[in-house]
Amino acid sequence: MGETRWVTDDLTGLLDDARALQTDTISLRRALHRQPEVGLRLPQTQRRVLDSLAGLPLRVRTGTALDSVVAVLDGARPGRTVLLRGDMDALLMPEDSGLEFASATPDVMHACGHDTHVAMLVGAARLLSARRERFAGRVVFMFQPGEEGQFGARYMLEEGLLDVDGGEPVSGAYALHIGTWYPSGTVNVRPGPLLASSDVLQITVRGAGAHASAPHRGLDPIPVACEIVQAIQTMVTRRFSVFEPVVVSVAQIIAGTADNVIPAEARMVGTIRALSETSRLAVHEQLTRLAEGVAAAHGASAEVDIDPGYPPTVNDPDAAELLRSTAAEILGAESAIALDDPIMGSEDWSYVLQRVPGAMAFLGACPPGEQPGVAPSNHSNKVVFDEAAMPAGIATLTAAALRHLAAPSLDRF
C-alpha cells in the first residue's frame, strides 16, 4: 500500500508525554494484575478504572449486563467521533510468572495482557484530555469486560456503545493488543483479515456397545471417530484454498469407560477457524456432510453441533494504514511493521469492526533478554510483558484518535 499523508494536530512530544505517565501507568497495570477478575462482572476492575478517570473532563456511564465503562471526551469544536478500546478481563488459570506483583487470586491470571490494555487506554484518556482544546470531535473510551469468550463487545454494542449523545456517530475504531511475539515497542498491523473466527465443534458418533472381546457383536464408534478425524484433515487441505486458510483441530476424543467394553458412542470436541464468513460457513456445511457420511458408511450415525463464536477480525485498509503510518511517525519507521499474514486466534473486537471501519494492531512487548516467538506468549502461565512498551501503546492510541479526527481525505469517516 502506498504512503498516505494525514493532516492532523502536531504530534511532537506525544511519546515523551506518554513516557511521563509511566509511573502511574505501571502502578495501575500492576494493581490490576494483582487482582484479576474473569467474565462479564469485574467490580474491582471497574472501580479502579473509574477512580483512574476521576478528575478528567469525561462523560462516564457504566454497563447493566456487564461491568463496562464508556467514557466520552468532547473536543473544543463539533466533529467526528472516534472510539478507542481496552479489554479488562483475565483468564481462569494459575500464574507461574514469578513476578513480584503476580496474581493474588488463586487460578486467575492476566495472561493475555488485558491489564496493560486498560492502563494504556487510561493513559490515552489523560493525554487526549490535556489536548481537548486542540481538536474537533469526540473520543469514546471503551473499557470492556468479557473478551475471553463471553462476548463482552457484543453486549456493549447491544447496550448502546455507539449511541453517543449529540454530535456525529462513531466513524472509526482503534485498538491495540499486546503480545510477546514481536519486538518490544513495535506496532504490527495489516489491512484486511487480522484474526480468524472461532467456533466450537462437537461431533457425537453413535454405534452399539459390546464386549471388547467380541467387537463384531456391536458397532464400535471409536474407529469411526478416528476416520472422521483423518477425513477432516483431508477436507481442509483439499477443499479450501491455501490462500484463504481454515483450521479445524480436534482437541478431545472422549469415549469408553473400561478396557474391556466397546462404548455405544464417541464424542469429539475441537475448534474451527476461518478468515472470512464465506469460508466459515463452508466449513460448517462440509463438516456436517463429512461426519454424517463417514459414519453412515460404517452403519453408525454422527451428530454435528457447531457453537458459533467470534467472527473474523477484519481491519479496514485505510484505518490499518492510519495506525501504521501514525506509529511510524511517532515511534520511527523501524517500529511500524506491516504484517504479511493474519493470526488464527480470535477477538470479539470483530463485532465492533462489523459496525464501524477501524483496525487493531499488535503492540510488541517481548521482555528484555528474550526472543520474540520463543518467549512465553499470551495465555501462558509464565508470560511476562515488557512494561517499557506501554508508552508506545499510549502514544499510538492517542495519535490514531487525533489523526482520525483530523483526516479530511477519508470521506466516509
Contacts of 103 (CB under 8 A, 6+ apart): 33, 34, 35, 36, 90, 95, 109, 110
Map residue 238 onto helix, strand or coil. helix
Catalytic residue list: 310, 387
| Phi, psi dihedral angles at 194 (to 5 degrees) | -110, -40
Residue entry with cell 488463586: 106
Map residue 204 onto helix, strand or coil. strand
Interatomic CA distance for residues 126 and 140, integer angstroms: 13
Interatomic CA distance for residues 330 and 282, integer angstroms: 42
Nearest to 69 by CA among 84, 52, 49, 55: 49
| Chain centroid offset of residue 279 CA | 20
Interatomic CA distance for residues 349 and 147, integer angstroms: 8
Map residue 250 onto helix, strand or coil. strand
Contacts of 9 (CB under 8 A, 6+ apart): 131, 134, 135, 402, 406
Note the residue count of the chain. 413
The amino acid occupying position 282 is A
| Phi, psi dihedral angles at 207 (to 5 degrees) | -125, -130
Radius of gyration of the chain, Cα coordinates, nearest whole angstrom: 24
Strands in 187-189's sheet, in edge-to-edge order, are 58-62, 69-74, 136-144, 77-87, 170-179, 358-364, 187-189, 336-338
